[in-house]
Structure 1
Amino acid sequence: MATLSYLPPVKPSAIALGTVYNHAISLAILGPVFGETYREAQRANSKEEFFKSKEAASAASAWGSSLVGSGVQTYAVGALINATGTLTYKGAAYLGSLVFLASAAPSFISQLATEKRPLDQVAVTVLARVAETVGLSVFLTWWGTRTNPFD
């Protein structure tokens, strides 16, 4: 039987609360998807008809993948906090900034330079991603991520 002992431990409550925090931020971005789903539900004649619709399947897929992604990202940031020994909010903000720059910044540069998306649309997405990375790392530092803080 394979063990996961090589994965850094992160306090389960930190993973749970961080997942809720991060998922809430993600849902702000997915709002238009759920808005269309709500309108489709109002137009449907029955629950069965709605649940068979494309919008319901799309919303369920977006919600589920966002929830799983939030959990994975929360664990990864918590493990980084533990691995680097980050104890201060300033250190957590730096760590979150590095995660943001490594994971999200390239796509925003592409959206502005190549895709020519409107600046306000990109700015809203940037703010949400900063909240998902910098905000998450500060939140997790506040809550605590170590399973045994005396180790």
Structure 2
Amino acid sequence: MATLHYLPPVKPSAIALGTIFNHAASLAILGPLFGDTYRRAQEANSKEEFFKSKEAATAAASWGSSLLGSAIQSYGVGALLNATGTLTYKGAAYMGTLILFASSAPSIVSAIITEKRPMDTVAVGALARVFETVGLSLFLTYWGTRTNPFD
């Protein structure tokens, strides 16, 4: 009788480093590179509306929930890489692109067509999502996600 693995194991260090990767991409790369445009793109996301408050307690809760969200995202991407047996960078790039299409394409299209947001804001927001999906997939492939490398 075969057993089902509903939540595939992912190396804990991959989850931790994936979480750091997502935050570093946002803070160290995209923020300084695009400045105000990046900040506007982040603020424009409806799911980010909660993070606009300037109060310290809210900021701490926002940062904590963002960190938790990044950890869950890192686990999810690592689990998909493991479940599909993806071992190459090319495969990871394809997987990350599919995750991007599934998770971000509807909001990007809506921002352009329905909400008519400025293109620079949409482009920078889309670039951030590319780092969070394709970049994360490539990084996790580099680091390794399998708890048992002989699986």
TM-score range, shorter chain: 0.7 to 0.9
Query: Cα offset for 1:128?
Result: 0.5
Structure 1 residues not aligned, in runs of 5+: 34-52
Contact kept, 8 Å, 1:26 with 1:66, in 2: the verdict is: no
Letter of the 1:119 counterpart: M
Query: Cα offset for 1:32?
Result: 4.5
TM-score (norm 1): 0.77
Structure 2 residues not aligned, in runs of 5+: 32-37, 41-52
Query: Cα offset for 1:54?
Result: 4.5
Q: 1:112 maps to what in 2?
A: 112
User: 4+ residue stretches of structure 1 with deviation over 4 A?
Assistant: 26-29
Q: 2:45 maps to what in 1?
A: none
- Percent of aligned positions that are identical: 72
Q: 1:12 maps to what in 2?
A: 12
Count the aligned residue pairs: 128
Letter of the 1:18 counterpart: G
1: CA distance, partners of 2:39 / 2:149: 42
Q: 1:146 maps to what in 2?
A: 146
Q: 1:66 maps to what in 2?
A: 66
Larger Rg: 1 or 2? 1
1: CA distance, partners of 2:138 / 2:120: 26
Alignment of 1:94-113 (within 5 A): 94-113=94-113
Query: Cα offset for 1:58?
Result: 3.3
What RMSD over aligned residues (CA atoms) do the two structures have, in Å?
A: 2.2
2: CA distance, partners of 1:94 / 1:54: 38
